[in-house]
């Protein structure tokens, strides 16, 4: 193993718990598969698998279609699955894509990884758009998440070509960048990684390293013509869709860089462009209609004695104090800030994240948001009580250990009566 940025073992280990048993969707441009570095990329995939990170490979076939077209003398009506696909071009796409899928499966086998291609992408025709019949070009109708999940559970790497089928024996040509977004969304992937033959996303000759979704949208609106390479515009559009659809991080990296994938995933520097969702945008004040979802959300924490039991009626009474973190319009995290009347003391309570969404920084975002609300409501001393997450509040959110004496009298009474003996934590808000 060569000495390089990502080989810092400590750095890798810091990230591993966050990604374990989560899914990365890796979208490979067809051209990447023909690079010498492709074998190394598969080795990196093997390493991700050995860390118990689920990997799904989605691939394109543009370069192979172009070559096959030249060899057979067919003029393709479209290369990347976004234009009109006529019948000869569909044949080219089928042949080229199947060949690429097979090469990937071969490569996986070299690394003792099991792979499988399936009919998990259900498509329907793109149809007639502005008077143009797109013929065999399709749109993703649905991804069979259960099928892909069954592969992942069986430690099989799903390999997904840019093709979809309907229930009537038809095949449609799809754009792989778009397929990757749909797959990442349904599998609630923590990362979507586009691997192309370019250093990432350039604005003129400047490599863009980090972009929020809003910044990415602004670039598309105002500086679209300066995005390089030109094909990256489509990736940027898809990255925004993915981030808006709940994929927290989308990367665009260069498939020619040795160890580039690992550097991107396991180091702070990264090598390409990262587009990240604005998580605050996902937080909103809770409303009465959320009571049922909130009650269900905190149930697990109550059962583990991490959270105080709250009836629906209580939640409804205190709903003004609650805020929720949403993914796809469903609350997956919540917290509340209660202010003790007539004091500058508040309590951050009921911080809770659905276990399927843990370790994505949602808890940290909720706490930051809660602190902001508390400040706005005049709180200078923020309390928090926890039975099992006190280290979290100390290490990740800057709280300090306190004692029951720090509680205002009425709260202290309730504390004593509950018998839960939670640890008291404190934070001074400036």
Ligand X SMILES: CC(C)(COP(=O)(O)OP(=O)(O)OC[C@H]1O[C@@H](n2cnc3c(N)ncnc32)[C@H](O)[C@@H]1OP(=O)(O)O)[C@@H](O)C(=O)NCCC(=O)NCCS
Q: Name the residues that contact ligand X, by CB under 6 A.
A: 17-18, 301, 306-307, 349-353, 358-364, 386, 388-389, 391-392, 396
**Cβ-proximal residue to ligand X, closest one:** 363
Q: Where are the beta strands (DSSP E) in 246-374?
A: 249-254, 273-276, 283-285, 322-327, 330-339, 345-353
Cα(303)–Cα(297) distance, rounded to whole angstroms? 11
Cis link prior to 229 (omega < 30° from 0)?
yes
CB of 29 to ligand X, least distance (A): 31
Q: How far is the CB of 430 from ligand X (least distance, A)?
A: 22
Q: Find the shortest distance in angstroms from Cβ 353 to ligand X.
A: 4
Please report, for residues 97, 252, 408, 416, 424, the alpha-carbon distance to residue 405 in angstroms, rounded to integers and kept in the order given: 68, 52, 8, 11, 9
Q: What distances in angstroms separate CA 199 from CA 101, 103, 194, 346, one per listed residue? A: 24, 24, 11, 48
At closest approach, how far in Å is the CB of 398 from ligand X?
A: 13
Q: Which of residues 136 and 381 has its CB atom nearest to ligand X in the complex?
A: 381
CB of 420: closest distance to ligand X in angstroms? 11
Angle formed at CA 92 by CA 87 and CA 95, multiple of 5 degrees:
125
Task: Give dist(CA 136, CA 140) in Å, integer.
Answer: 13
Counted residue by residue, the chain has a size of: 430
Shortest Cβ distance from residue 87 to ligand X (Å)? 50
Q: Say how many CA atoms lie within 13 Å of 366 toward its Cβ.
A: 30
CB of 391 or CB of 428, closer to ligand X: 391
Q: Which is nearer to ligand X, 121 or 353 (CB)?
A: 353
For β-strands 381-386 and 345-353, DSSP reports them as parallel
Cβ 17 to ligand X shortest distance, Å: 4
* CA gap 149, 288 in Å, rounded: 34
Return d(Cα 23, Cα 183) in angstroms, integer. 10
Q: At what angle do helices 62-72 and 87-110 cross, to 10 degrees?
A: 120
């Amino acid at each position: 193993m060569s000495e390089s940025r990502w080989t810092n073992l400590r750095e890798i280990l810091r990230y591993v718990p966050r990604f374990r048993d989560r899914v990365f969707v890796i979208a490979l441009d067809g051209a990447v598969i023909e690079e010498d570095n492709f074998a190394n990329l598969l080795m990196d995939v093997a390493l991700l698998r050995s860390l118990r990170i689920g990997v799904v490979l989605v691939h394109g076939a543009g370069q192979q279609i172009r070559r096959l077209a030249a060899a057979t003398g067919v003029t393709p009506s479209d290369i990347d699955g976004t234009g009109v696909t006529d019948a000869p071009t569909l044949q080219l796409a089928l042949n080229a894509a199947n060949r690429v899928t097979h090469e990937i499966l071969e490569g996986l086998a070299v690394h003792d990884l099991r792979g499988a291609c399936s009919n998990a992408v259900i498509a329907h025709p793109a149809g007639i758009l502005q008077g143009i019949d797109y013929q065999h070009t399709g749109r993703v109708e649905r991804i069979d998440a259960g099928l892909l999940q069954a592969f992942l559970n069986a430690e099989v790497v799903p390999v997904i070509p840019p093709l979809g089928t309907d229930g009537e024996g038809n095949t449609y040509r799809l754009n792989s960048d778009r397929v990757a977004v749909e797959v990442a969304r349904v599998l609630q992937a923590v990362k979507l990684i586009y691997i192309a033959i370019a250093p990432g996303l350039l604005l003129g000759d400047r490599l863009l390293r980090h972009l929020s979704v809003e910044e990415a949208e602004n670039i598309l609106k105002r500086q679209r013509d300066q995005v390089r390479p030109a094909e990256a515009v489509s990736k940027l559009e898809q990255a925004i869709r993915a981030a808006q659809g709940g994929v927290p991080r989308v990367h665009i990296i260069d498939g020619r860089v040795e160890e580039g994938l690992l550097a991107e995933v396991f180091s702070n520097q990264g090598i390409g462009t990262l587009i990240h969702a604005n998580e605050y945008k996902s937080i909103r004040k809770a409303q009465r209609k959320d009571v049922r979802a909130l009650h269900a959300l905190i149930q697990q924490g109550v059962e583990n004695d991490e959270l105080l039991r709250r009836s629906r009626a209580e939640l409804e009474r205190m709903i003004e104090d609650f805020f929720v973190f949403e993914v796809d319009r469903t609350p997956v995290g919540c917290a509340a800030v209660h202010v003790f009347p007539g004091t500058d003391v508040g309590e951050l309570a009921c911080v809770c994240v659905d276990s399927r969404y843990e370790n994505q920084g949602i808890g940290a975002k909720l706490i930051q948001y809660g602190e902001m609300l508390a400040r706005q409501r005049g709180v200078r001393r923020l309390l928090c009580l926890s039975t099992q997450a006190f280290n979290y509040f100390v290490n990740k959110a800057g709280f300090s250990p306190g004692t029951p004496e720090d509680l205002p009298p009425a709260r202290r009474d309730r504390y004593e009566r509950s018998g839960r003996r939670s640890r008291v934590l404190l934070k001074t808000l400036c």
